[in-house]
Structure 1
Amino acid sequence: MTELDQRLRIRDKARDLFMQYGIRTVSMDDIANAMGMSKKTLYQWFADKEELVFEVMKGQIEWSESACDSFRSVSANAIEELFRTMEMVEEMFANMNPSVLIDMQKYHPKAFGLFTRHKYSYIYNVIRENLIWGIKEELYRADIDVDIITNYRLACMLLPFDPSFMGKQKLSMAAIEQQITEHYLFGIATLKGHKLILKYKEKRHKSSLHGKTK
């Protein structure tokens, strides 16, 4: 096994633990035990937890950017692209502890800075380009202010991580994100877009039912 392979194995195990339990509660001892190695050996690969958290976030960003790039290339229209993105985000949220972003912001500023730059550069551009695409196709309303709605969408995407918003919500983060995204979509769509949204929703519903009956 190469050095890179070993670092990736440790990074991936740390990611799984962070997503399940949150970043703060998972120690380097926990990660070492999960890997079946001593903490001394773990520190030979990563200098400290800060470096490991940064590498986990870097890996997640690279993975999500690759997925989003592919969605744009294979989607027939802006609404299909957004549905593909929504499914990816919901899948992530389904297995993510809601404290992950809060822990990162409080205790790992370098990793949180990386995420923030990703949010306001890559994600911002993906949302903005999707809006422009949808307007050109007459699926989104021509009267919307693209920059305002892009920033609005950015803010809404992270609401499931906000304790003051979540309150006593009984729905999962994934279910809440679905509701938020659909509200956003119907708000920007034309009548032509509404019909297409309903078509994709029905297709997704049937796919979900098919998956449950397998």
Structure 2
Amino acid sequence: MRDKIIHKSAELFLNLGFKSVTMDDIATEMGISKKTIYVHFKNKTKLVEAVTFNLFDTICDGIDSICDNAPNPIEELYSIKMFVMHHLKNEKSSPQYQLKKYYPQIYDVLKYKQFEKMHQSVKDSLNHGVETGVFRKSIDVDFISRMYFTGMTGIKDNMFFPTETYNMNYLMESYLEYHLRAIVSEKGMTILNNFIHNQS
């Protein structure tokens, strides 16, 4: 039952927002009593925490699988973007922003976990790209992996990129291309241009 509650709550939170979904809403959606939810989670904050880190673990597992199977580091990044977008339902309700505003402690822990995961994952990908001649040999791998995380986090900030002007898919697509064009070799540029051309 605990897993079912987490799964249904994640769906509601991502579509409607952490703030607007109540314990009553979740109980009604699931056809169970609110008391049943409280058996597993002592309050809404504990439920939000469980949903957040469950989603984080699911996304990490998916990213690991993509990294193991991608034909090259360029397509790997695009596949990760598609996977994350699918899991976050295009962030209709800006869940990251709501988490930061209403559950700042959970947000801070999540951001640190995201940084640890992405920093290592992007470093591995960059090193692989350098070894295979897709990225320039002169790039500073540690610096670029930190910049990549900062940029990916920054485009989700509503203050700088309001959702009524920019949708998340456009932002991620544009940022990925911006990031890759800065680091690819000639070989990588050919792969990137062909990939973008085939997507359009």
2: CA distance, partners of 1:168 / 1:26: 20
Aligned to 2:113: 118
1: CA distance, partners of 2:131 / 2:167: 35
Under a length normalisation based on structure 2, what TM-score does the superposition of the two structures give?
0.91
1: CA distance, partners of 2:93 / 2:152: 13
2: CA distance, partners of 1:76 / 1:168: 33
Aligned to 1:202: 197
Aligned to 2:125: 130
Aligned to 1:141: 136
RMSD: 1.8
Unaligned regions of 5+ residues in structure 1, if any? Answer: 1-5, 206-214
Contact 1:90-1:178 within 8 A present in 2 as well: no
Contact 2:14-2:89 within 8 A present in 1 as well: no
2: CA distance, partners of 1:93 / 1:172: 13
User: Do the aligned partners of residues 57 and 142 (structure 1) sit closer, same or farther apart at CA in structure 2, a change above 3 Å counting?
Assistant: same
Deviation at 1:19, TM superposition (A): 0.6
Contact 2:14-2:88 within 8 A present in 1 as well: no
Bigger drift between 156-165 and 91-100 goes to 91-100
Residue among 16, 23, 27 paired with 1:21? 16
> Alpha-carbon deviations, 1:7-28, whole Å to 9, x = none?
1111111111111111111111
> Alpha-carbon deviations, 1:35-81, whole Å to 9, x = none?
11222222112111111111111111111111111112112221121
Contact 2:15-2:89 within 8 A present in 1 as well: no
1: CA distance, partners of 2:156 / 2:109: 18
1: CA distance, partners of 2:162 / 2:91: 17
Bigger drift between 157-166 and 131-140 goes to 157-166
Contact 1:91-1:174 within 8 A present in 2 as well: no
SS of 1:158's partner is helix
Deviation at 1:83, TM superposition (A): 2.0
Residue among 115, 134, 145 paired with 1:150? 145
Q: Does 1:35 align with 2:30?
A: yes
User: Do the aligned partners of residues 168 and 123 (structure 1) sit closer, same or farther apart at CA in structure 2, a change above 3 Å counting?
Assistant: closer
Deviation at 1:151, TM superposition (A): 1.2
Task: Map 1:1-214 onto structure 2 (within 5 A).
Answer: 6-167=1-162, 170-205=165-200
Deviation at 1:30, TM superposition (A): 1.4
User: Do the aligned partners of residues 38 and 22 (structure 1) sit closer, same or farther apart at CA in structure 2, a change above 3 Å counting?
Assistant: same
Q: Percent identity?
A: 27
Contact 2:97-2:158 within 8 A present in 1 as well: no
User: Do the aligned partners of residues 125 and 28 (structure 1) sit closer, same or farther apart at CA in structure 2, a change above 3 Å counting?
Assistant: same
Contact 2:90-2:168 within 8 A present in 1 as well: no
Unaligned regions of 5+ residues in structure 2, if any? Answer: none
2: CA distance, partners of 1:183 / 1:172: 17
2: CA distance, partners of 1:168 / 1:7: 33
> Alpha-carbon deviations, 1:85-115, whole Å to 9, x = none?
1221333454323531122223324432431
SS of 2:124's partner is helix
Under a length normalisation based on structure 1, what TM-score does the superposition of the two structures give?
0.85
1: CA distance, partners of 2:14 / 2:163: 21
